[in-house]
A and B are shown apart, each in its own frame.
Chain A
Amino acid sequence: MLKVVVPMAASILATEFVMAQTEIVGNVDSKCIIISETPGVYGNPNPYQLTTATTDGGVQPIIRYDVLAADYYKAVIEHPIAFSSAPTLDDVVTWTGDVEVSEMSDTNMADYDTNKVEYDNAHEYEMTVAGSTWFKISSAADYGYTKSFPAGTYTAIVEAECIPL
């Protein structure tokens, strides 16, 4: 009996030692992660208007950028200037939009909006501080000269890019 019990106990002990040595390895590297926190919804306060403004029944999309090292990346966010899907439209749509920092994990990010570069519908931010930054996008589309949008589903896409410097 003892001949069986002793080797079993020894093998269990040996297994426990092996398990105790199991490691978890992780590397903290420079990297950029784009997180889509809130997808966004267009409200329809007037027949001719679609807008993400909260006061008009819309929801502003929110994108978070996590940057693990400072001065490695720039964020480029483009507010929509066209519908990606919509009913057939036979008149001009006038687009307006903006991007702004809504929250930050570090107070040193406070000047991101002041220092951003704007061209066309793109807003370019240099990520000079490590941490998380939340960007809030506003978008509005006006159809013709106060013309009613045809009934249907309208979708427009916000482009969020993270580009190494």
Chain B
Amino acid sequence: MYSAVIRFLLLLFVSGYASAHELTPTYPELRPSYMNDILEAKLKMWNARVDVEYYKIEVTDEDWNDVPFITTEKVFRLNYLGRKDISIFLPSDTSARYICTRSMLEKGNAQKSIISSKVCSKIK
């Protein structure tokens, strides 16, 4: 068990996250916000994709239908190796289940990357 964990950690260090996209926590909690009947989920995003600078936030229900939400920027710029705290505000009767960030590929830079990544968190 330990050897597997050590091998995995070694792999992470050696590989150095050349081009990664991460969203945490896996299971965010909805907590009351400073506004009445509005809940808030807090997430952290990390961009280690050197080929991507823009990300889009998507909030969906169990069946992947879009759900209304409020955040400061639905499409935001995040530089390489940048971290961002994301607050999502939802009505108290929301059916939201998944909060996702999707990499946005620039049309002019299409040659640079043909891989679009989407990482989701599931609301508890």
Q: Name which residue of chain B comes closest to A137, CB basis.
A: B115
- Which A residues from 81 to 96 make CB contacts under 8 A with B? 84-85
Separation in Å of the B45 CB from the closest CB of chain A? Answer: 11
Separation in Å of the B102 CB from the closest CB of chain A? Answer: 9
**Within 8 Å of chain B (Cβ to Cβ): is A53?**
no
Chain A at the B interface: mostly helix, strand, loop or mixed?
strand
Q: Name which residue of chain A comes closest to B22, CB basis.
A: A33
**Within 8 Å of chain A (Cβ to Cβ): is B35?**
no
Cβ–Cβ contact B115 & A163, under 8 A: no
Contacts of A85 in B (CB 8 A): 107, 110
- Which A residues from 112 to 165 make CB contacts under 8 A with B? 130-132, 153, 155-165
In the bound complex, what is the Cα–Cα distance between A72 and B48 (angstroms)?
22
Cβ–Cβ contact B4 & A63, under 8 A: no
Binds B, one of A3-11, A13-21, A35-43: A35-43
Contacts of B25 in A (CB 8 A): 29-31
Max chain B Cβ within 10 angstroms of own Cβ: one of A66, A84, A161, A162: A162
A34: which of B21, B24, B26, B27 is its contact (CB, 8 Å)? B21
**Within 8 Å of chain A (Cβ to Cβ): is B36?**
no
Separation in Å of the A121 CB from the closest CB of chain B? Answer: 13
Contacts of A72 in B (CB 8 A): 26
Contacts of A161 in B (CB 8 A): 100, 117-120
In the bound complex, what is the Cα–Cα distance between A132 and B22 (angstroms)?
14
**Within 8 Å of chain B (Cβ to Cβ): is A99?**
no
**Within 8 Å of chain B (Cβ to Cβ): is A105?**
yes
What 3 pairs between A and B have smallest CB-CB spacing?
A: A164-B122, A34-B117, A155-B110
The residues of B with any CB-CB pair to A shorter than 8 Å are 4-5, 7-8, 11-12, 15, 17-27, 48-49, 51, 98, 100, 105, 107, 110-122
